[in-house]
Each structure stands twice: as C-alpha cells, then as structure tokens.
Copies of this chain bind each other. A is one copy, B any other.
Amino acid sequence: MPRPDSRRKGGSLGPIACSACDLNEICRLSGLIALEGGHTRQSTGTMRVVRPGTHLYRTGSPANCLYAVRQGLLKLVHVTADGDEHTVGLATPGEVLGLEGFSLGSYATDAVALQPVICCELPLTMLEQNGTRVRELASALIRLLSRAAAPHLGSPRGSIRERVTSFLLDLSARLERRGLDGRQFTIGLSRREMADLLDTRIETVSRVMQQLHREHAIRVRGDAVTLLRLSRSAEAVAAH
C-alpha cells in the first residue's frame, strides 16, 4: 500500500560525479561508462528515479541489481518477522546498495527514499559476463564488498547525546567524502526517523538538538543543520 507521506519540500543531496562513486571502478570495467580521450562520460546504464517516501526495493524481493546512489538520501529499513520496522542505516550519494544480493539472492532490507533520489542500476548479470577483464572486475568487486564487510563500528552507543553527535558527524563525514558540503546540510530525516535510527524517541531527539543549538555546537533551522563546534571527543569528555 502506498504510504501517505507528505514530505518536506527540500531539495536533494548531490548529484555527485561518477568519479566520487564507490561503484565507479566496477561501472567502468563493466563497460557502463564510455571513456573518451581520458574524460569520463555519463553512464550509459539505466537510471532509477525514486520519489520521496517510495521504495527502491523491498525486503525479500529478488536482488537483480546493485544500485549506486547518485543523488538524494535513502533509509534502509529492517522488517522483522513479526512485522515491525526499524531504520538500520542511511545511504548517501556515492554509496552502493544491494550488496547482500550475491549471497542471499534477495534484498535484506527495504530501501526508502527520503528525498528525490536518482540511482544508477547495475544488473548482476553484467558482472557475470565473460568480459576481457574478468580478473580486474572480480578484484574490484571484492574490494567493494570487503569495505562493507568490516565489523560494524558505527552502531548507536552511549548516551543519546553521544548518539546524536555521532550521527551528525558520521553523516557529515560521508557527505564530505563525496565532495558535498559536510558543514551545512539538510538532515533529510524527520524527527521520527532520526529517533527510529538512534533507538530513542522524537521528544528526546528534539531536546538534544535544541540543547546542542543553545550551546552553539550546531545551528538548527527546520531540518537544515550547520555544524559549528561539534566533536565526538568533546562529548566523551562532557560525559565525564
């Protein structure tokens, strides 16, 4: 059923350049990007446009493609056996979704757009073809997967304040890595979604954000955030 999701109007994060994308190397080796005199041309692959509040894919549906986020923000929602949902992560521009497809054959979460999203679609079949550079392709794919296979270090830990701080700094770092503005950005998540991700309540998120605002650690206007003087270590110290 289509969810009644009246979204904020704000724009999208990105778009980013192909060169800043985690899928770039694989994309090139699969022949999805034509190289012209050393210049990278736009991908010739399929694009997927996803409107805010709608799904890129759903839990359990057959995983036929990898997706690279080019523009916008998505949330990954884990749907438990007994039906309730929890946001377990975000995907920012330049990141790759659907990596679990190789082993499971299906997607392990729902991927829901939080903003207008544009993704590049890379059918898994393209990776199995007998190209000339099978070795390079396999090697690139292994490196990509290996990055995601590192033991999870960014789980919500400590006080809510620490979790909010970590969340903001993490998001900021991920944006900056892609050449986007990591100092000033729109969170793209409602308070409800933030609370869900950080395993707490909307009121608490609101309070912490206001608190950080009053302390001039961040500036908050709507869902536009500016990081001013925010650091993980300062939080750890503040916690004694």
Contact = CB atoms under 8 A, between A and B. Distances in A.
B153 A233 contact: no
Contact of A76 (B103, B142, B151): B151
A88 B155 contact: yes
Interface stretch (A29-37, A94-102, A113-121): A94-102
One complex includes copies of this chain to the number of: 2
A216 interface: no
Given A142-B138, A199-B158, A89 B233 contact: no
Contact of A141 (B82, B86, B142, B233): B142
Interface size class of A (residues with CB under 8 A): 35 or more
Contacts of A199: 157-158
Contacts of A152: 88-89, 152, 155
Contacts of A150: 99-100, 103-104, 108
A-B pairs with lowest CB-CB distance, top 8: A102-B146, A145-B145, A148-B149, A100-B150, A138-B138, A103-B146, A99-B149, A152-B152
Interface of A: 76, 78, 82, 86, 88-89, 99-104, 108-109, 134-135, 138, 141-153, 155-158, 199, 233, 236
